Amino acid sequence: MKTAVYPGSFDPITYGHIDIIDRGSRLFDNVIVAVLNNPSKAPLFNTEERLDMIRKATAELRNVEVDSFSGLLIDYVDQRGANTVLKGLRAVSDFEYELQMALMNRKLNRNVETVFMMTSSRYSFLSSSLVKEVARLGGCVKELVPDYVFERLLEKNK
């Protein structure tokens, strides 16, 4: 069985993330969307809020599981019995960083592959950071995130 882990902060989940999850779910038997719990960062949404939003976004995808982790991704992948890390790429600048991470993960565990998937051109500009900034400044991000995420962004930015 081919299981992929799609890691990220997902603060918040966007349609770009959902695009990768949906397409990844058609390539792998199982996809684990893994929210990184990084205590050195101050996310807008706490881990439980992010998990809840991702679960709602992926509810119709029967082979998608949502979880969280801390520490090294490669350790989490091994603990979950996965064999692939799924990463979305928007631009060449993403690739440079993700290539370094993939090579380090490969050094730490030769049995885990990284698969890069280009995001749909429709979402190639989209990032959680950009969504949060535009929402904080009063711009409309309604078409970039699911409705329940949009509502939560409004609540956070009151």
pLDDT tens digits, 19-61: 999 999 999 999 999 999 987 778 999 999 999 999 999 999 9
Mean pLDDT score, 145-155: 95
Containing 86, the helix (H) or strand (E) segment is strand 84-89
Q: Which domain holds residue 28?
A: 3-156
Angle at 45 between CA 149 and CA 112, to 5 degrees: 95
**Residue spans of alpha helices (H) in 15-91:** 15-27, 47-57, 73-79
Q: State the burial class of residue 95 (Cβ atoms within 10 Å of its Cβ: 0-12, 13-18, 19+).
A: middle
Q: How many structural domains is the chain composed of?
A: 1
Catalytic residue among 9, 17, 87, 152: 17
Catalytic residue among 80, 90, 106, 142: 90
User: What CATH number did the domain enclosing 78 receive?
Assistant: 3.40.50.620
**Any catalytic annotation for residue 128?**
yes
- Which pTM does this prediction carry? 0.94
Q: What pairs with residue 116 in β-bridges?
A: 87
**Average confidence score pLDDT of the chain:** 94
